[in-house]
Amino acid sequence: MNIDLRSDTVTRPTPGMLKFMFNAKVGDDVFHEDPSINELEKKAASIFGKAAGIYCPSGTMTNQAAIKVHTQPGDELLCDVTAHVYNYEGGGIAFNSGVQSKLIHGDNGRFTAKQLEASLHPYADWLPRTSLVTIENTSNRGGGTYYQLKNVKEIAAVCKKNNLALHMDGARIFNALTETGESPKEWGKVCDSISVCFSKGLGAPVGSVLLGSEEFIAKARRVRKLFGGGMRQGGYLAAACIYALDNNIKRLKDDHQRAKHIAKILQSKTYVTNMLPVETNIIIFSLDASMSAEKFTGALKKDNILISMIGNNALRIVTHLDFNDKMLKVVEKALKKL
Ligand SMILES: Cc1ncc(COP(=O)(O)O)c(C=O)c1O
């Protein structure tokens, strides 16, 4: 039995999802003629109470397209120091949009309205024009931590007061909403744009949607084409995302419970240090000098269990749709030996 806990992106479509994909109605999406993509965009927009959506091949593309539409070259955006848009999208903020980033040192990926306000600067000819704030929910490098809506309402108020757009990288937004029970429509009201991924916890093979106003999405459509993301009969892939929305949200709480179970076992180990709060499906922790990351991952690998090394003797484990209770038992046994 192979158990891959490196990321929630490693899942493969289930037979039910594949059957649904196989039966999708498709057309040329560059001509707006793919019924399945049109349906997915409409469905996702309606869940978050947004006017429109656009289906893209990846979360990187939805985030980068959003940044491109919200900004002008020479602008500045504000994000947390751990943000995916800043750390893991190939320098795309600078490359695609000619924008520089100002980093806020938040709490495991989340910052407050007060911290945002303190990071703003007044207008001056010689200062970059700040135009965009991005938040990440849940925060990947923050260990799957999530925002409370009331805190983001405060952030949105600072944005409004200072004429800044607010983008949410919601690659794992449904993991967050599973825990808070908050309504996606309320989140749609506070964020100008939202990126939602289907290829993470929701278990689809490909794709993300970007949501926003009609005008914003019309501009994002041009950017998607410019980035090479205009798809033709992409409806087969969009169908997997529709299936994921209908079938794979409720079960996310199982991933969270399994992550918490693994975290508890790890916490009983004397060599495990600095574990970030495990709020959803991600566990980030470090090892002290008595146990190297290579030795730890090597031992797990012998039991066919894969986890990620993320530097400085730190490790990451992510639970997902292809990880079940039977596998959890195998992981428990392997960890207890270590
Ligand atoms: C928080 C976050 N945002 C965006 C992305 C980018 O998604 P993709 O891999 O589909 O480009 C990821 C990928 O893991 C992520 O974790």
Q: pLDDT for 230-257, tens place per residue?
A: 999 999 999 999 999 999 999 999 999 9
Q: What is the pLDDT of residue 1?
A: 86
Q: What is the pLDDT of residue 8?
A: 98
What domains are there in the chain, each with its CATH number? 3-9+250-337 (3.90.1150.10), 15-247 (3.40.640.10)
Distance 84 CA to ligand 1 centre (A): 7
Beta bridge partners of 168: 135, 194
Beta bridge partners of 145: 139
The pair of structure tokens assigned to 332 is 């428990």
Distance 20 CA to ligand 1 centre (A): 25
Length of the chain in terms of residues written: 338
Distance 17 CA to ligand 1 centre (A): 21
Give pLDDT tens digits for 71-104.
Answer: 999 999 999 999 999 999 999 999 999 999 999 9
Query: How far is 157 from 117, CA to CA, in rounded Å?
Result: 10
pLDDT surpasses 90 at 51: yes
pLDDT surpasses 90 at 228: yes
The secondary structure of residue 289, as a DSSP letter, is: T
Kindly report whether the peptide bond that precedes residue 273 is cis, defined as omega within 30 degrees of 0.
Answer: no
Distances (CA, A) of 229 to 9, 43, 148, 243, 253: 20, 20, 32, 22, 32
Ligand 1 pocket at CB < 6 A:
9, 58-60, 63, 84, 136, 140, 169, 171, 197, 199, 208
Using left for φ > 0, alpha for ψ between -120 and 50, and beta otherwise, residue 49 falls in: left
The pair of structure tokens assigned to 299 is 């031992």
Helix (H, G, I), strand (E, B) or coil at 100: strand
pLDDT mean over 46-73: 98
Residue 240 · residue 205 · CB < 8 Å: yes
Beta bridge partners of 305: 3
Query: How far is 86 from 77, CA to CA, in rounded Å?
Result: 10
**Sequence-ordered list of residues with C-beta below 8 angstroms from that of 97, at least 6 positions apart, any chain:** 64, 67, 68, 71, 73, 75
Q: What is the pLDDT of residue 240?
A: 98
Closest CA to 164 of 98, 70, 84, 97: 70
The pair phi, psi for residue 224, each rounded to 5°, is -60, -45
Write down the mean pLDDT value for the chain: 98
Nearest CA to ligand 1 atom 7: 59
Residue 190 · residue 49 · CB < 8 Å: no
Closest CA to 165 of 197, 127, 194: 194
Q: Predicted confidence band at 165 (pLDDT cuts at 50, 70, 90)?
A: very high
Distance 260 CA to ligand 1 centre (A): 22
Query: How far is 313 from 15, CA to CA, in rounded Å?
Result: 38
Q: What is the pLDDT of residue 13?
A: 98
Q: What is the pLDDT of residue 152?
A: 98
Query: In the block, which residue shows the tokens 């019309």?
Result: 218
pTM of the model: 0.97
**Strand 100-104 relative to strand 165-170: parallel, antiparallel, unpaired?**
unpaired
Query: In the block, which residue shows the tokens 């947390």?
Result: 80
The pick from 6, 84, 146 for probing ligand 1's pocket by mutation, whose C-beta has the most ligand atoms within 8 angstroms, reads 84
Closest CA to 177 of 192, 187, 167: 187
Distance 60 CA to ligand 1 centre (A): 6
Q: What is the pLDDT of residue 314?
A: 97
Distances (CA, A) of 136 to 22, 29, 151, 229: 33, 29, 13, 23
Residue 258 · residue 323 · CB < 8 Å: yes
Query: How far is 58 from 119, CA to CA, in rounded Å?
Result: 30
